[in-house]
Amino acid sequence: MKQEKIYEDLFPVLRRAKFIFFIVAIFFIFLILNFWKVQILDHDGYWEKSEANWMREITLPYQRGLISDRQGIILANNRASFRVSLIRENCEDYDKSCRKIARLLNIEEHVLKERIKKYESQPHFKPIVVKENLTFEEVAMIEARKLELPELILQSEPKRFYPFESFAAHVIGYLQELSPEEMRRDVYGERRLGELIGKTGMEKQYETALVGGHGRLIEVVDSLGRGREEVARSEPERGQDLTITLDFDLQKEVEKLLEGREGAIIVMDARDGEILALASYPDFDPNRFINRFTSEEWLDIVNSPEFPLENRAIRGLYSPGSVFKLTIALGALDLGIATEETTFVCKGETRIYNHPFSCWREGGHGEIGFFDAIRDSCNIYFYNLGKEMRIEEIARYARMMGFGSRTGIDLPGEKSGLVPDPQWKIEARDEPWQLGETISVSIGQSFLLVTPIQIAAHTALIANRGIRVTPHLFKSLSLNGKKRENRFNPPGNQVVNIDTSVFEQVIQGMWEAVNKQGTGWAALVSEYDVCGKTGSTQLISRDKSEEPEEEKEEGEEEEEEMKTHSWFTGFAPRENPEIVVTVIVEYGGMGGETAAPLARRLFNSYRKKYDRQEPTQTH
């Protein structure tokens, strides 16, 4: 160690101070370089972030188009509804906010969190709906705690509302939240997560017309998420209003008739395929679906043993039963296998291809002609016709009548049914066609599966003497009262290549079935010339159709009667037909007993309402 100096020598001290200052100067340059990087090189990224900070885009909800019946009665309306949303960005402590909000809104905390989790992918500043359809008290409560809970915002939006609840639910359909999976599909490209979209029925079919455009509001917000001023605003566009062909009064009656049963009824204008009433029972209240309810509640409805969500009119697969005899009759006449004069003897039972086949009437019909065979629905007569036609021709005529393919009705999810033939059986079951099966098909049993709407369309085809119409519900679209589009464009009304006289003969049989004490007598409306055909059959379940046909035909009448589904399809008046009515009642018993009387009331109601050209053509 050096000696302490006795004089002041500040030189080394000053030198060190100078050195420190030199380092300070260097450090200034280092800092400026850092600012250069952040402010010049990385400027764009930070600029975007700062813009995102202070601009907020709010979606202004649009009004979904109304749906009304042909008379203008509104079946699907909108009403104002308050909802409360959470903005995660504004939560000081996410868990704490969740706890508070759950208590305030009376929701389970885990339910709330699960809900929010669904929207995790969304940016933090986007509001997530946590509760809808707030009561007035809830709105007041949230409003009062506005400062305490800056993460909650109240919004009012027009909300779907079905004033008649379950009325025509299967036609109108319902709305549900767009799920993240659906979001990925192109159809919903413009839509947002959590938006309500049509899931079935008209709501789905005409989704693109019914939806409007969202409005957008861009506003300046401060760090607490409070709006300061509007920057830009585009008003929402309302959706187009849809008028459908349903007739409120007829639909109401149809639903009343079906109440307590399981089945479907279709009332259709024979001339152009406009559906006046279409109901499937059991049904549901579409208002329940709009509330963003929990998945358990949803599963409850989906898993109900009665399948209330299934629209039986377009998705129920039934054997046509005796209704199919009309197709056989048309084919046999057209092919020349039968004429008006063809007769067979019905002893109540017969053996064909070494198997016993029975008629529904135990004693038999005796010697029976063409019209009587349709009138009394004699099985033996049609076994013989079917046997002559062979399965290939039966299948050809069935397809000509529209079976085995969709009718093209503007309802989503329509099923096409099944017209069996040998080729199908080989492909689907790897078994050769049994000749006995042809006999079963002749009376509408076996593998043959049809939907009620196919039966209705085929009835219209007969009523129009070979002119096919496409069943539809679309009547017109309008925007703000102005008509936009008022034509339904079906695939084209084709004419079936069968002679008109053939139809006239079959129609004669149908007329007699109702008006001459036939199986359809219960559908008789005085002076209205109803023509129709009944049918009784089972809903074919998979294991049942596995069974050999003979067993089903044999001696199970009593037991089967209990489980028999009841068909009636018909049209009126005979000349210039206007209306087709098709009824299926599951477990309804014989068609003549259950379905036909329902049809009669509908013919009556239609006539009262629409048939004004009084003395009609009577026969």
Partner 1 sequence: MIDRSLLRHIDWVLIGLLLLNSIIGVAFIYSSSHYLPGKYFLRQMIWIVFSLLALFLFLLIDYKALVSYSVYFYILAVAILVGVLLFARFVAGAKSWIRFPFFQIQPSELTKIVLILLLALIFSKFRLDYMSWKKGLLSGAVTAIPVFLVALQPDLGTALSLVPVCLGALILAGINRKTFVYILIVTLLTGVVAWNFGFKDYQKQRLRTLISPSKDPLGSGYHITQSKIAIGSGGFFGKGYRKGTQSQLRFLPARHTDFVFSVIGEEFGFLGVVLAMMCFFLFLYRLYQSIGFSGDRAGVYIVFLVAVMITFQFFINVMMVIGLFPITGTPLPLLSYGGSSLLTNYLGVSLVLNVKMRRFVFV
Cβ partners under 8 Å of residue 515, min gap 6: 521, 524, 529, 530
- Least Cβ distance, residue 50 to partner 1 (angstroms): 4
- Least Cβ distance, residue 22 to partner 1 (angstroms): 10
Site for partner 1 contains 35 (CB under 8 A)? yes
Residues 508-537 binding partner 1 (CB under 8 A) are none
- Least Cβ distance, residue 100 to partner 1 (angstroms): 17
Indicate the residue among 9 and 341 with the shorter CB distance to partner 1: 9
Choices 27-35, 334-342, 431-439, 567-575; region in contact with partner 1 by CB under 8 A = 27-35
Site for partner 1 contains 428 (CB under 8 A)? no
Site for partner 1 contains 34 (CB under 8 A)? yes
The tokens describing 450, both together, are 């049809």
Count of residues that bind partner 1 according to CB under 8 A: 47
Site for partner 1 contains 46 (CB under 8 A)? yes
Indicate the residue among 97 and 327 with the shorter CB distance to partner 1: 97
Q: How many CA atoms lie less than 13 Å away from 358 in the CB half-sphere?
A: 13
- Least Cβ distance, residue 42 to partner 1 (angstroms): 5
DSSP 190: T
Candidates 79, 78, 48; CA nearest to 65 is 78
Site for partner 1 contains 17 (CB under 8 A)? yes
- Least Cβ distance, residue 117 to partner 1 (angstroms): 17
Candidates 567, 513, 570; CA nearest to 537 is 567
- Indicate which single residue of 66, 84, 91, 328 sits in contact with partner 1 (rule: CB under 8 A): 91
Residues 223-262 binding partner 1 (CB under 8 A) are 223-224, 228
Q: Which amino acid, residue 189?
A: G
DSSP 323: G
Q: What are phi and psi of 145, to 5 degrees?
A: -105, 25
Residue 341's DSSP bridge partners are: none
- Least Cβ distance, residue 216 to partner 1 (angstroms): 20
Site for partner 1 contains 147 (CB under 8 A)? no
- Indicate which single residue of 57, 59, 70, 89 sits in contact with partner 1 (rule: CB under 8 A): 89
- Least Cβ distance, residue 174 to partner 1 (angstroms): 38
Site for partner 1 contains 218 (CB under 8 A)? no
Site for partner 1 contains 33 (CB under 8 A)? no
Site for partner 1 contains 96 (CB under 8 A)? no
Q: How far apart are CA 327 and CA 615, in angstroms?
A: 32
Site for partner 1 contains 144 (CB under 8 A)? no
- Least Cβ distance, residue 219 to partner 1 (angstroms): 11
Cβ partners under 8 Å of residue 437, min gap 6: 391, 420, 425, 446, 447, 549
- Indicate which single residue of 31, 299, 302, 428 sits in contact with partner 1 (rule: CB under 8 A): 31
- Indicate which single residue of 26, 50, 140, 190 sits in contact with partner 1 (rule: CB under 8 A): 50
Q: How far apart are CA 605 and CA 587, in angstroms?
A: 25
Indicate the residue among 17 and 299 with the shorter CB distance to partner 1: 17
Candidates 82, 80, 59, 63; CA nearest to 215 is 59
Site for partner 1 contains 21 (CB under 8 A)? yes
Candidates 616, 341, 389, 353; CA nearest to 505 is 341
Q: What are phi and psi of 390, to 5 degrees?
A: 70, 160
- Indicate which single residue of 142, 152, 221, 455 sits in contact with partner 1 (rule: CB under 8 A): 221
Indicate the residue among 49 and 184 with the shorter CB distance to partner 1: 49
DSSP string computed for 467-505: B----B-EEEEEETTEEEE-----S--PBPSS-HHHHHH
Q: How far apart are CA 133 and CA 80, in angstroms?
A: 9
Indicate the residue among 41 and 562 with the shorter CB distance to partner 1: 41
Site for partner 1 contains 28 (CB under 8 A)? yes
Site for partner 1 contains 117 (CB under 8 A)? no
Distance of CA 385 to the CA centre of its chain: 39
Instruction: Answer whether the bond into residue 12 is a cis peptide, omega within 30°.
Output: no
Instruction: Answer whether the bond into residue 548 is a cis peptide, omega within 30°.
Output: no
Indicate the residue among 228 and 608 with the shorter CB distance to partner 1: 228
- Cα–Cα–Cα angle for 456, 461, 466, rounded to 5 degrees: 170
Site for partner 1 contains 8 (CB under 8 A)? yes
Indicate the residue among 50 and 156 with the shorter CB distance to partner 1: 50
- Least Cβ distance, residue 26 to partner 1 (angstroms): 12
- Cα–Cα–Cα angle for 417, 420, 422, rounded to 5 degrees: 155
Residues 276-315 binding partner 1 (CB under 8 A) are none
Radius of gyration over every alpha carbon of the chain, rounded to an integer in angstroms: 36
Q: Name the residues that contact partner 1, by CB under 8 A.
A: 1-2, 4-6, 8-10, 12-14, 16-18, 20-21, 24-25, 27-28, 31-32, 34-36, 38-40, 42-43, 45-47, 49-51, 53-54, 89, 91, 124, 220-224, 228
